[in-house]
Structure 1
Amino acid sequence: MRIFSFSKRISGAATALFALCALAASLQAQPKIATIDLKKVFDGYYKTKQADTLLQGSGADADKVLAGYVDEYRKKQQEYNKLIESANDQAVSADEREKRRKTAESKVSELKEIEQSVTQYRKQAETNILEQKARMRENILKEIQDVINTKAKGGSYTFVFDSSALAFFQTPVILYSAGQNDLTDEVLAQLNITAPAGFFTSEPKEDKTSIAPPKAPQKDEKPVTAPAKPVKKK
């Protein structure tokens, strides 16, 4: 499952603006209009696929670190349980039981420290991945826009509309197009000229179990909590 995708929605005001621009141009001169499926170009651009792989790798690395915290927590919890059990052993002296009880209390502090580390790391990892995704998306869209501008100027087009754009209610902005002057394939081909040799022929199959960025706990998700401090028996 891809975690790096393109989605675009424009408001009704923007839709109306497109229409007004087209009308104004038609009053001055016959406009030459082209269309492009920006979503198809974005998804088909080899750099988008590379970015998706990098983001999945970042998510996988974060998950490995979190898994390490979980393993450490479980070990500490097992140690704590054993100490509590031994602290209640009536076969040893009261002083020894008290010593074991204090050792168990120190384990509670260690467990709480791990909990805090997990929370902090998860938030930071999520922030880092989201920022990385935003930077990559911005750079890719700029490169696509530059190629569109070049093609539009070279073809003397007045406007280039995105045929994949959706209005506020998820309806297509362009309701009909005869398919003439569609720049999608032309722009995509130009962008992929610099793709590494064999990039598309050796492209791996989509992994439906890809790892998503670490997420914050949900409302109904029970957080990991440290055991309560052992009660001292009199």
Structure 2
Amino acid sequence: MIRRLIPFAVAAVLCGTSLAQDALKIATVDMQQLFKEYYRTEEAQQQVNVERARIQKELNERYARIQEIDEELKKLRKMLDDPSVSDSKKQEVHRDWQMKQQEGIALDRERREFQQRRTQALNEKMVQRMKGILEEIRKLVEEQAKKEDFDFVFDKSGLSTSQVPVLLYTKDATDITPTLLVDLNKDAPKDGAKPAEEAPEGDEATE
């Protein structure tokens, strides 16, 4: 997730200083480190874990009902195979077996559709959250670059399509990652404090 999003977040931040100057003022930043160690990233991940647990709980409940139906089908099958059961009774049992089988098939289909729908929605929501956090970090990088009058700020954690670091070497570049980490986490909750849990979404309430 991080490796897919970060390369699009920051390639370089260009400040207002003229490029015609003899010596450019260059800085580097580790966007991956900022993302991982930003307290809001951990909070977002915790919220995603809570939502994922809700989905799994619902799936477990649905699967338990399907297993109950499977056990009922086995009992009905035994009655159908029992030679001591009359033909008229077997006809009645066979109708019940067909109804139970259709119910089980429908519930299993609903379970799979529920899992696909909710998982996809959660993944999309997570991607949007991470993009928002990365954009917040990018803006802070830009502000810091302007504040310290840097011409360029390069993301030293960025990788090319061949998974080779984009930035291989910089001369006399200042790493502003530690400064940015302090700024990002200045409002982090104290140890032991937990972020507020999000309320269940409408789909969770109606499923």
Q: What's the TM-score once normalised by structure 2's chain length?
A: 0.82
Helix, strand or coil at the partner of 1:194? coil
Over residues 14-57 of structure 1, what are the superposed CA-to-partner deviations in whole Å (9 max), with x where a residue is unaligned? x8xx7xx9xxx654553211110000000000000011111122
Which residue does the alignment assign to 1:224?
A: none
1:179/1:110 CA distance change after superposition, 3 Å: farther
Between the aligned partners of 1:111 and 1:152, the Cα distance in structure 2 is 61
Helix, strand or coil at the partner of 2:165? coil
Matched, 1:183 2:164: no
Moved over 6 A (4+): none
Over residues 189-209 of structure 1, what are the superposed CA-to-partner deviations in whole Å (9 max), with x where a residue is unaligned? 10101111226xx79xxxxxx
Between Structure 1 and Structure 2, which shows a larger proportion of helix residues?
2
2:185 to 182, 192, 201: 192
Helix, strand or coil at the partner of 1:113? helix
Between the aligned partners of 2:172 and 2:82, the Cα distance in structure 1 is 83
Give the counterpart letter for 1:49 in structure 2: E
Show structure 2 runs of 5+ residues with no match: 195-207
Note the C-alpha offset of 1:9. Answer: 4.3
Does the 8 Å CA contact 1:83/1:100 hold for their aligned counterparts?
yes
Between the aligned partners of 1:179 and 1:48, the Cα distance in structure 2 is 31
Between the aligned partners of 2:112 and 2:131, the Cα distance in structure 1 is 29
Between the aligned partners of 1:29 and 1:135, the Cα distance in structure 2 is 41
Which residue does the alignment assign to 2:97?
A: 104
Give the counterpart letter for 1:182 in structure 2: D
Which residue does the alignment assign to 2:150?
A: 157
Give the counterpart letter for 2:30 in structure 1: D
Aligned pairs for 1:51-200 within 5 A: 51-177=44-170, 180-198=173-191
Matched, 1:33 2:35: no
Between the aligned partners of 1:84 and 1:41, the Cα distance in structure 2 is 61
Between the aligned partners of 1:88 and 1:120, the Cα distance in structure 2 is 34
Note the C-alpha offset of 1:168. Answer: 2.0
Note the C-alpha offset of 1:128. Answer: 1.1
Give the counterpart letter for 1:83 in structure 2: L
Note the C-alpha offset of 1:112. Answer: 0.7
Note the C-alpha offset of 1:145. Answer: 1.5
Note the C-alpha offset of 1:120. Answer: 0.8
Over residues 140-178 of structure 1, what are the superposed CA-to-partner deviations in whole Å (9 max), with x where a residue is unaligned? 012111211111111011111001001121111111246
Query: Number of matched residues?
Result: 188
Does the 8 Å CA contact 2:28/2:154 hold for their aligned counterparts?
yes
Between the aligned partners of 1:33 and 1:81, the Cα distance in structure 2 is 73
1:73/1:166 CA distance change after superposition, 3 Å: same
